[in-house]
Amino acid sequence: MKTPPKVAVKNVSMRFGDVLVLERLNLDIAAGTFCTIVGASGCGKSTFLQMLLSNTRPTGGAIELDGVPLPDEPTPERGIVFQRYSVFPHLTVEDNLILASEFAASPVTGKLFGGARRKARAEVRETLERIGLAPAAKRYPAQLSGGMQQRLAIAQALLKKPAILLLDEPFGALDPGIRNDMQELLLQLWREQAMTVFMVTHDIQEAFKLGTRMLVFDKVRHDPVAPEAYGATITYDLRLKDGVSEPPPAMGALLPDPAASV
Partner 1 sequence: MRIINRTPSRRTAVLLGLLPFAALIVSYAIASHYRRLDNPADKLLPSLGDMASTFWSMAFVADKRSGDYLLLGDTLDSLWRLGAGVGTATLIALVLGIAIGFIPHIRSSLAPFIASFSLIPPITILPILFIIFGLGEVSKVVLIVVGTAPVMVRSVAQAVMNIPRELIIKAETLGASVWQMTTRLVLPQILPHLITAIRLGLVPAWIFLISAEAIASTSGLGYRIFLVRRYLAMDVILPYVIWITLLAYLIDRLLLIVSRRAFPWHHAGGNSL
Binding residues for partner 1, per CB under 8 A? 53, 55, 73-76, 78-80, 82, 84-90, 99-100, 102-104, 107-111, 140-143, 156-157, 159-160, 162
Distance of closest approach, residue 112 Cβ to partner 1, in angstroms: 11
Q: How far apart are CA 54 and CA 143, in angstroms?
A: 32
Which one, 87 or 234, has the nearer CB to partner 1? Answer: 87
Least separation in angstroms between CB 100 and partner 1: 4
DSSP string, the chain: -PPPPSEEEEEEEEEETTEEEEEEEEEEE-TT-EEEEEE-TTSSHHHHHHHHTTSS--SEEEEEETTEEPPSS--TTEEEE-SSS-S-TTS-HHHHHHHHHHHHH-TTTS---HHHHHHHHHHTHHHHHHTT-GGGTTS-GGGS-HHHHHHHHHHHHTTT--SEEEEESTTTTS-HHHHHHHHHHHHHHHHHHT-EEEEE-S-HHHHHHH-SEEEEEEE----SS-TTSS-EEEEEEEEPPTT--S--HHHHHHSPPHHHH-
Tell me how far, at minimum, the Cβ of 196 lies from partner 1, in Å: 15
Strand partners, 234: 217
Smallest distance, partner 1 to C-beta of residue 59, A: 20
> How many residues appear in the chain?
262
Q: How far is the CB of 52 from partner 1 (least distance, A)?
A: 12
Give 55 or 188: the residue with its C-beta nearer to partner 1.
55
CA 97, distance to chain mean position in Å, is 18
Residue (50 or 212) nearer to partner 1, CB:
50
Least distance to partner 1, CB of residue 239, Å:
28
The nearest distance, CB 90 to partner 1, in angstroms, is 5
CB of 105 or CB of 238, closer to partner 1:
105
Nearer to partner 1, 161 or 239 (CB): 161
CA end-to-end span of the chain? 46
Nearer to partner 1, 76 or 132 (CB): 76
Q: Which is nearer to partner 1, 95 or 218 (CB)?
A: 95
